[in-house]
Every structure is written in C-alpha cells, then in structure tokens.
Structure 1
Amino acid sequence: MRFSLNQWTTRHWPLPDLAAGCAAAGVSGVGLWREPVAEYGAARTAKLVRDHGLTVTSLCRGGFFREPDAVAVNRRAVEEAAELGAPVLCLVSGGLPEGSRDLDGAVARVADVLAELAPYAGEHGVRLAIEPLHPMYCSDRCVVTTLAQALDLAAPHPSDQVGVMIDTYHLWWDPAVWDGIARAGAQDRIALFQVADWITPLPEGVLTGRGMLGDGCIDLRRFRAAVDAAGYTGPIEAEIFNEALWAMPGPEALSLTLARYREHVE
C-alpha cells in the first residue's frame, strides 16, 4: 500500500493510538510531525512505529530559513529524522522577515541555508524536500511558491540530498505544474507526494482549509498519474488540515481518508 497517513490529518489522535489504528487498518506508512514526536520522545516514537510494523515516510517540518538560528534548528531536525528512520525532512521555507519587502533576498537566504544543510543531511541519510506552498502563503510562511522555483533551488545539490515535494493542495493552480513534475522526475527530485483537496470558498482561516479528498476541484488522479509517469514509486501521504476532520475520532477519520484515497487517488 502506497497510502501513508500524515499525522496532522488526525491531529488530535495520540501517537500510541495512531500507531495501533494504522496497523489495524492495514496502513503501513505514517508521516510524523516534530512537535508531537518531541512530546512523546523521539526514541519512544521510533520504537513505537517499529513495534507496529510501520514505516515513517517523512518528518515535518524543517525550514523557516529567515530565522537567524535556521542552520542549527534544521540540523536538529535532520538528526530527529534520522533517529526516526524518516527518509525525508519536509522543508517549508518561511516568509519575509518582519517588515521586509525583499522577496529576492528571502529566496536567496533559502539557497544559502540549503548550501550549509544539504551535506549534513546527506551524512545522516536524510533527504531534504523543498515544499512550494500556494502563493497566498508567500508573505508569512513560504517564499517558495512554484515547483519550478523549488527545482531551481534544489539543482545545485545532489538529488539524494535535496528533492522537492509535490502537494496537490499547493500546486493544483499552476499551469506549469505538469511540465514541472516531468522535469522533477527526469532529475530524480521527487522526494514525496502529498494529497489534499481545494474547497471553495475557503473556510475561515486558510491554514485549516484543506478539503477531504474528492470534496474539491483538484484532479487528484491526474496528479497521481503524473508523478507515476515521472518515475515516482514512493508513498502517497494524505495531509489534510481540516477542523471537521480533526473533530472526528481517529479511527473514523482514518477510515474516511483511506476510502476517499481509494476512490479519488489510487
């Protein structure tokens, strides 16, 4: 099964229950987040997922490169990913510095930190995955907004050290995305594929506005076919930030997400 449950899809499901629930449902992959892992303990988390026969498909997240201590913080994130056996560390670049209008400078900062971080990640067997976010997040969360931009930032580094993420929620709008996916595949840069849907109008608070698979306007299966054609054979993480989904009991939310994945993605 390529399906992987990103932990934030069932945000309030405690880690032990999530691990047991995934195993019971036949789901073998989980994408983890640093905050709940830190709360539970990285070593305990690594043992927990192993004991349930699970594979950690990614750790979210590093990045936020505008911070002065970005290199040190991201090195710790790399170390955590390695301890968990996560092959991929997801990177959200961060937005503009407070009071700044220098978008080019912010992107240059991303490139500079990547240059310091990539070899360190390689030494730990962790692949950095640059995630372009929808342009509405550019000012405060992510100055990397297109797949082409992410690929350009990855280009100076070995593909086993730096790749890109394909997230349907963030990239569905881009008319160049199909060429970008083909380019990413040709360069062996696809580190992770994530799925969520886009619903209109967006709920209040865009951070929790991702739609359940099949509820929105994204051609999810076209994305899956495109990444497959580009040579990506790895996990497909369902990462859905949605208050209604978070209010469900964990097993119910997982069952719904898995059913919709089979209907609209697989």
Structure 2
Amino acid sequence: MIKCWFFLAIALISGSVYAESTCADIHGQESYPPLRIKNGTICFVQEPVLDPGTKTQISADAISLYYIFNENVPVKAGGRGLLFDNTPGEIIDAFSSSVGHDQQEKIFVIHSLEVRESLVESNSSGKFYSVSVFDPIGHTLRRDERASDWFGADYSWLSDGRRVTYKFPYQSRRDVQQAMGSPFALLMNRDGFISVRLKDKSYLFDGPNVRSKTKKYMIRGDRATVDKATAGWCQVHHSGGAKPLEMWLMCSAFNIDAQAKK
C-alpha cells in the first residue's frame, strides 16, 4: 500500500512538472533567450506572418512575443508586432524595468532590421532600429503604442553624403534607460507642454526626419513649447515670429526652460 502511494505521488509530481508551459512548447524558432519577469516568462519566437484579412501565410517571417503567466498557456502579445522586411531582423536587447511613480513593470525590446538593398535609403546605414514597449496586464502582454511611438524607429544613422546628420538615439539598453530620465519622457504617458529654450540657431523641419529640412529657423535663446516626441525629435510650438510655428527639431537642440511656466 505504501508503495502504491509512493508511485502515485511520483506520478502527480511528474504530471505537474510536464504541465508547466515553456517557450519550447511554442511552435517556431526561438529568436532570443526567454525573459523572466515578475509574474512569468516572455518568449521571442520567429513565425510566419499572416495576412490580416485572409489569415493565410505570406512569404515573410517576423518575431512575435508570447507571455507565459505563472507557467500557464503561452498567449501571444496584443497590438502591433516587431518590424520585418524580407527577414525578421534581430533583437538587440530585451529587458524589464519599473517605470513611473507607481513603479509599473514595462518590457523594452530593441530591434534592428537590415533593409533590403532595393529599398535601402542612400547615405544611410541600411540598418533600421526600433524600440517597442509592452505592458504585462494580468495574463496578457500588450504593446504600449504611445510609449513605443515615443521611442520611434529609424536608420541607425543617416548622412548628407559628407557627414552624419542623424543617429537613432536608442540603440542600447543604456540609451533607453537614460531616455527614461529625460524631461521629455513625461510625454510618453500623458499629454502636456514642456517649456524649452533653443541652445543655438537651428533650421526647422516639417516632420520628424532629416529629409524634411526647411529654410525656416529659430535662433539661440528662442523659447518654445514641446508637446510630442519620437525617435529623438521634438514637435515645437513657437509664437515669437510673425506667424506661429508648429514644426520639428531634434530634442537635443533644446534646454529645458526652468524660468518659463510649465
């Protein structure tokens, strides 16, 4: 009788072990080591991309995130996935960090993608970077669109043929962590205006990219407000001239204006 109970106990223990879900249970190639977070594990799996309308496979793969909450069934992350072209690219780094006054856990994924030769922009690195932010919510993982757009995406560098004119500012964990301490990080979670002062004379841009440079400019000491940021660019509102401006400059062009009203 004792032997029967012993073997039954072994069977129950073995059954509970085998019932636990792991990243290996998900169909597809693991693209990055599993990430352990507070209440579970995040898996990074390369899998075929499905057409949104027909749900049939297209001739491309992408890296998907799956969340295993407390060793339960893996659940695919909600929202837009990571970028892909004719290859799924690669994850440079993935980590969790506690953010804000409430110390909410967020997941940051730094991803890069080699743009195919026929599409790559001239005078660029050919390598496209992005930072995606995800929130663990209960049993699920969901992309934080606002925070992801704040970090944005672009080539690792662009030039005018002579010198580098832009570098994507969030290419490493350290870059991302430093950005979280920036005054402009307030715009990652809520609407608002941040008062700034221009460091030096700078030409303005119609959009958040070096290709949209204009002949309009602001001069050193000009005050403005910033209400939006993406990929190191800030949208500025300036009313010091004959006509109010709503244009873009790199965030690094500004100092925070402590004397102006917030």
Q: TM-score range by the shorter chain?
A: under 0.3
| Pair member with larger Rg | 2
Structure with larger RCO (C-alpha < 8 A, sep 6+): 1
Which has the larger helix fraction?
1
Q: Structure 2 length normalisation: TM-score?
A: 0.22
Q: Structure 1 length normalisation: TM-score?
A: 0.22
